[in-house]
Amino acid sequence: MENSECILEARDIVKDFAESVGESRRVLDGISFQVRPREFLSIIGPSGCGKSTLIRIAAGLETATSGEFLLDGKLVRGTDAERGMVFQKYTLFPWLSVKKNVMFGLESSGRGDDEAEEIALQWLQIVGLEKYADYYPKQLSGGMQQRVAIARALAPQPRILLMDEPFGALDAQTRSQMQRYLLEVWKNIDITILFVTHDLDEAVFLSDRILTLQANPGKVREMVNVRVPRPRNPESLFLPEFISTRRHIEELIHPKAEDSGDETFNIVNMVGKK
């Protein structure tokens, strides 16, 4: 792949965590992949396979034991405004209003108050929350809080948005609304998204490609192309491409039948019976 087709590159990422004195455990073992400009790329794999660790290394919140991430060909070091991050846990500052939360990243990247406020209000409009600018996070639902978190991450105009199970704490209906809403934002602005999930439907619904990982230690199984046509809507879940892609990913990440107690396995079974 030529450089112009690659915005973020993972090169042979290895991560060992210390277990006890003198002992360490390999969590990520030689992860390499490339993300294309404007792509929606998801990382999926069983719980504990190192998805959060991997995206935290990309964000600069964690350091790799060896290997590196490159953004636009430049080595990623620490956090900066080029990489926006949204987590599963609600991470808004409870003591700041919605508007001030969005302004926070802008001010720390050197904008004055007035400019930061103007940009924050524009982003709140994009996520449909301009009426809530002066509310506090606890006055908003979980889905609305995550929309503010998305506005906060996007306001400094990062090159890439990194999302770690951002809808994992939401109920099923809000979650699927948020997925459609995220696709709408992604379609309308020039942004690349790297999205971690363990939910098969979510990964297939959102992504252009899906990087599947296996666990212990975390390794790349396969990069899967998702050929489900866009725009996607709830009906997309019943398209043959959707069902076959999900089956394929299911086999990659849960190869054994003893995983039948797993929620994702049951979803596949339910749809299979329709």
Ligand X SMILES: Nc1ncnc2c1ncn2[C@@H]1O[C@H](COP(=O)(O)OP(=O)(O)O)[C@@H](O)[C@H]1O
Catalog residues that contact Mg ion under the rule CB under 5 A: 52
Q: How far is the CB of 259 from ligand X (least distance, A)?
A: 15
Distances (CA, A) of 270 to 201, 238, 252, 264: 12, 12, 19, 10
Q: Are 163 and 154 in contact (CB under 8 A)?
A: no
Q: How far is the CB of 53 from ligand X (least distance, A)?
A: 3
Q: Is residue 47 a contact point for ligand X (CB under 6 A)?
A: yes
**Chain centroid offset of residue 39 CA:** 12
Binding partner selected for residue 50 from Mg ion, ligand X, none, CB under the kind-specific 5 to 8 Å limit: ligand X
Q: Quick one: 57 or 193, whose CB is closer to ligand X?
A: 57
Q: Is residue 51 a contact point for ligand X (CB under 6 A)?
A: yes
Q: Quick one: 117 or 202, whose CB is closer to ligand X?
A: 202
Q: Is residue 17 a contact point for ligand X (CB under 6 A)?
A: yes
Q: Quick one: 67 or 168, whose CB is closer to Mg ion?
A: 168
Place of tokens 């990247």: 109
Task: Work out which of 52, 145, 146, 245 binds ligand X, going by CB under 6 A.
Answer: 52
CB under 6 A: which stretch of 40-48, 84-92, 95-103, 122-130 binds ligand X?
40-48
Binding partner selected for residue 156 from ligand X, Mg ion, none, CB under the kind-specific 5 to 8 Å limit: none
Token digits for 144?
Answer: 């609305």
Token digits for 235?
Answer: 């009906």
Distance CA 69, CA 49 (A): 19
Task: Work out which of 48, 112, 229, 255 binds ligand X, going by CB under 6 A.
Answer: 48
Q: Quick one: 64 or 119, whose CB is closer to ligand X?
A: 64
Place of tokens 């599963």: 88
Q: How far is the CB of 221 from Mg ion (least distance, A)?
A: 17
Which residues on neighbouring strands pair with residue 98, listed in sequence order? none
Q: Is residue 49 a contact point for ligand X (CB under 6 A)?
A: yes
Q: How far is the CB of 3 from ligand X (least distance, A)?
A: 29
Binding partner selected for residue 59 from ligand X, Mg ion, none, CB under the kind-specific 5 to 8 Å limit: none
Token digits for 219?
Answer: 């390794």
Give 183's contacts (C-beta < 8 A, 6+ positions apart). Answer: 40, 206, 230, 231, 232
**Helix (H), strand (E) at residue 9:** strand 8-18
Is the link from the previous residue into 231 a cis peptide, with omega within 30 of 0?
A: yes
Q: How far is the CB of 198 from ligand X (least distance, A)?
A: 7
Read off the amino acid at residue 146.
Answer: Q
Token digits for 60?
Answer: 């600069």
Q: Is residue 188 a contact point for ligand X (CB under 6 A)?
A: no
Token digits for 143?
Answer: 């889905």
Question: Sheet of 160-164: strands edge to edge?
Answer: 83-86, 160-164, 192-197, 40-44, 209-214, 219-225
Q: Quick one: 135 or 265, whose CB is closer to ligand X?
A: 265
Q: Is residue 50 a contact point for ligand X (CB under 6 A)?
A: yes
Where does this chain bind ligand X (CB under 6 A)?
17, 27, 45, 47-53
